[in-house]
A and B are shown apart, each in its own frame.
Chain A
Amino acid sequence: MIPALLELRGIQKIFPGCIANDDIDLTIAPGEIHALLGENGAGKSTLVKMIYGVLRPDQGEILWRGESIQIDNPASARALGIGMVFQHFSLFESMTTLENVALALPAQNLDLLRVQLEKTANEYGLKLHPDRYVYDLSMGERQRIEIVRCLLQDPKLLILDEPTSVLTPQESDVLFETLRKLVAEGRSILYISHKLEEVRALCGQATILRGGKRVDNCVPVEETAQSLAEKMIGRRVEPIQDRETPMSTQKRLVVSNLSKRSDELHGTDIQDVTFTVHAGEILGIAGIAGNGQTELMAALTGETGPPQSGSIEIENQDATAMAPMDRRQLGAVFVPEERIGQAAVSNLSLIQNSFLTSGKRMGFISAGIIDWSAVDAYTGHILDRFDVRATGRDALASSLSGGNLQKFIVGREILQTPQLIVVSQPTWGVDAGAAAAIHEQIQGLVANGAAALVISQDLDEIFGLCDQIAVISQGNLSTPRPAAEITTEAVGLLMGASNHASGDALANA
């Protein structure tokens, strides 16, 4: 029998206050695409960090080709033949593709490297331009740099962490082709994901983690997406419920020809964005991260000041030049993408965090003095209604899990009885139970006549939740279309669109 390429036996890793990995076994055969499945916080990242030498196991054994080894750091992992592409790329935006590749390798002649780079890229169907600057590249192109960078070191095992989270469906297909070529050469791939359909299509074996423990080993094609999800989550999951769309012509949010420059270097400017959200309607904005979602959100909250041109009307009042708190007074609430540091302050209590955005609208301030006992009661109300698991109302925001904190933040906004809720990445990094609860609350609010704008990278969420769908790409927004009338493929094309003719692609789809 051929020895396994990599074998983990009884791996344990303990962090203060949590057992991240507990007695985990994992075997990867040569030429295998092995899926590592699990929800956020299941311990996937911790496990691969130990394989890549970023962390060290407290207990357990790592065998490489049947031999017990110790991986001290990423350099020794690379020397063994282990390469890794992280979810968050480690590229310098103001350098070219070639320079970024050269930085990760031992010093060498750049011209020789260029030849090698182009050769490897062509061999695996990874389209790359050595001299283009990274800030100018799409997420898919950036990922290709990372992959080629690994391949130049001739790895036996390639670890990919959520590689499709930044790709359009079409780009994902290209990536899968490359991966199949790699395993045909006898290389192995450890594929970390929570997208079940692609795991079923791609992976020969799967190891499923839950709460830091290995709960199952299976062959993905023999499972259904539903059965994989149940193994991953540990109980039945209900799909997002359809709901009756109440017809209304009442406009809650009207954005006309909005253009706003990004404050960030290499950020994405919002260009000529137009859309309307009616009462009783959920508008979904799909798009790959970094295409102007953050800037659009900031333009809507007003936190980065008035736009360069265009207008924003909330509840039929011109809010274009209004400060954030005045927009909230009109009946709008906002749930931004960043939970810690933007939506909530980590070192403040939940009570203080409740006050953060609700103070004015809920009337907790009189003559500049805060009525903390009223805020305290309001906080209790949020924790009860939204089933937030916390040690108490005075628990620090940093002590909550991602899902619980998001439930708290959404609860804080929804209990202000808004007419309009604008929410960005509502369930990103949130466990399935909390995600379902958040979806239900947004739907409930809209059923009562409010309007919702949902900005999300998750196409399942967009299609499951929204009545109208638009796509943001390089700061341009496509014309919103009813969800029933467009396909995932059409949305995928728009996500990758790089020109202004977005509307045409949708019309032809």
Chain B
Amino acid sequence: MPLEMPLLTLEARATPSASAAWLSPLLALTLTAITGAAIFLVMGKSPGIALYIYFIEPLTSWSGLSEVLVKAGPLILIGVGLSIGFRAGIWNIGAEGQFIAGALLGSAPAIFFYESANPLILPLMMLLGILGGMGWAAIPAVLKTRFNANEILVSLMLVYVAELLLIHLVQGPWRNPQGWGFPGTRMFPDAALLPVLFSGYRIHLGTIIAIVLPLLVWFALAKTQFGFQIKVFGSAPLAARHAGIGEKRMIWVTLMIGGGLAGLAGVIEASSTIGQLVPKISPGYGFTAIIVAFLGRLHPVGALLAGIAIAVTYIGGEGAQISAGLPKAVTGLFQGIILFYLLAFDLLTRYRLTRITISKSAT
């Protein structure tokens, strides 16, 4: 008699499912909330209240919304830049370092001309910020195009170099002489600060840049030859070569875009909410933006939405520390769980679950 054994198995889809591509981030967010609830329960907190503090409360007030958008700004800018590189198969993991390099170079005018009231200082800082990020990303670009060095390792290791350089500068040569020995530069002059949009809220000009930019990049990727080249280079390097899309050029361009936007995010952060350089200018934006890029399906508008979603966990995490006494580490935990579920569900865009029955003849 045959023995029926029902099993679940993965079966490759003929074409990747379009609905699954958009469904998987939503499923990932839902399961993250459920897993979060279970963790809160184990920690002895009420899951309902904790989840409310985390995910809903930040969106219930104008100041909360403003804080979310301010937090989302750098994540979106970096995430969009990384999306372009990841689409092309260039794995720039060191956006954190490029963020710091942008903040350093971009802040230099404000530190050296600390009494300046020249309105041109702000555009100059933005430009230098972009160049700083690009310069930092140029190192993996040179090493990859010249020596075929792995950009993942090079860009990642440069993060720690940038961090140490920042610490050295704010404790040494760039330290505020009137700062009572605390590490940190002078406060930037008003002319070197990005204007806030509404008094009483921290939302500023940089936030607007972060919201508009994804739309421009979306257009560029969909309509221009450059966007097409990125797509071809990422999915079929040999076809790209055949069609005359230069490998070195693509490596350079994608790393410059990723680095430039990370650098811009860095200088915006320094010249808005912080207003000076301090040893810890980034709560890990450059790394979290990798999650943002993937959560946003490597799509610029996706990165915009994902940046806001991740920003909610940051702001919610701060609220949870204050009002529910939850450790700050829970924020990182949430971000990790989201990425974990997302990668798991990504499998479903290329595979589907089917039931199979293996019949075994009984002996």
CB contacts (< 8 Å) of B238 on chain A: these are 338, 341-342
Min C-beta distance of A252 to chain B, whole Å? 20
Instruction: Say which one of B173-181, B183-191, B239-247 lies at the interface with A.
Output: B239-247
6 A-B pairs with the lowest CB-CB distances in the bound complex, closest first:
A324-B244, A325-B244, A345-B236, A342-B238, A303-B241, A341-B236
**A356 and B224 contact, Cβ closer than 8 Å, known pairs A323-B244, A345-B232, A398-B15:** no
**Contact (Cβ within 8 A) A17 B243:** no
Kindly state the interface size class of chain A when it binds its partner: 35 or more
Within 8 A of A (CB), among B212-244: 223-226, 228, 231-232, 235-236, 238-239, 241-244
A-B residue pairs in contact (CB < 8 Å), sample of 26: A16-B11, A16-B14, A301-B242, A304-B241, A323-B246, A324-B241, A324-B244, A336-B242, A341-B236, A342-B236, A342-B239, A343-B239, A343-B242, A345-B232, A345-B239, A347-B16, A348-B232, A348-B235, A352-B228, A356-B239, A359-B225, A365-B225, A368-B224, A368-B225, A370-B224, A370-B228
**A16 and B12 contact, Cβ closer than 8 Å, known pairs A348-B232, A359-B225:** yes
Does A386 make an interface contact (CB < 8 A)? no
| CB-based nearest B residue for A326 | B244
Min C-beta distance of A343 to chain B, whole Å? 7
Does A128 make an interface contact (CB < 8 A)? no
Per the bound structure, the CA–CA distance linking A345 and B244 in Å amounts to 14
Taken residue by residue from 1 to 16, chain B's Cβ proximity to chain A (1 for < 8 Å, 0 otherwise) reads as 0000000000111111
**Contact (Cβ within 8 A) A17 B14:** yes
**Contact (Cβ within 8 A) B244 A342:** no
**A370 and B223 contact, Cβ closer than 8 Å, known pairs A336-B242, A343-B242, A357-B242:** yes
- Count B interface residues, CB 8 Å: 22
Min C-beta distance of A399 to chain B, whole Å? 7
Does A191 make an interface contact (CB < 8 A)? no
Per the bound structure, the CA–CA distance linking A376 and B29 in Å amounts to 38
CB contacts (< 8 Å) of B239 on chain A: these are 341-345, 356
Min C-beta distance of B15 to chain A, whole Å? 6
Per the bound structure, the CA–CA distance linking A365 and B12 in Å amounts to 36
| CB-based nearest A residue for B354 | A16
Taken residue by residue from 250 to 281, chain A's Cβ proximity to chain B (1 for < 8 Å, 0 otherwise) reads as 00000000000000000000000000000000
Per the bound structure, the CA–CA distance linking A370 and B225 in Å amounts to 6
Min C-beta distance of A328 to chain B, whole Å? 8
Chain A residues engaging chain B, CB cutoff 8 angstroms: 16-17, 301-304, 323-326, 328, 334, 336, 338, 341-348, 352, 355-357, 359, 365, 368-370, 372, 396, 398-399
CB contacts (< 8 Å) of A323 on chain B: these are 244, 246
**Contact (Cβ within 8 A) B236 A346:** yes
Per the bound structure, the CA–CA distance linking A399 and B15 in Å amounts to 8
Min C-beta distance of B356 to chain A, whole Å? 10
Per the bound structure, the CA–CA distance linking A323 and B236 in Å amounts to 19
CB contacts (< 8 Å) of A344 on chain B: these are 239
**Contact (Cβ within 8 A) A356 B232:** yes
**Contact (Cβ within 8 A) A303 B236:** no
Taken residue by residue from 172 to 208, chain B's Cβ proximity to chain A (1 for < 8 Å, 0 otherwise) reads as 0000000000000000000000000000000000000
CB contacts (< 8 Å) of A356 on chain B: these are 232, 239, 243
CB contacts (< 8 Å) of A352 on chain B: these are 228, 231
**Contact (Cβ within 8 A) B223 A348:** no
Per the bound structure, the CA–CA distance linking A398 and B14 in Å amounts to 9
CB contacts (< 8 Å) of A17 on chain B: these are 14
- From A357, A372, A399, contact of B243 by CB (8 A): A357
| CB-based nearest B residue for A302 | B244
Per the bound structure, the CA–CA distance linking A341 and B235 in Å amounts to 8
Per the bound structure, the CA–CA distance linking A322 and B281 in Å amounts to 48
Per the bound structure, the CA–CA distance linking A17 and B223 in Å amounts to 33
CB contacts (< 8 Å) of B244 on chain A: these are 302-303, 323-326, 328
Min C-beta distance of B169 to chain A, whole Å? 39
Q: Told that A344-B239, A365-B225 touch, could you supply 15 new A-B pairs with CB distance under 8 A? A: A16-B11, A16-B14, A303-B242, A303-B244, A304-B241, A323-B244, A325-B243, A325-B244, A341-B236, A342-B238, A343-B239, A345-B235, A346-B236, A370-B228, A399-B15
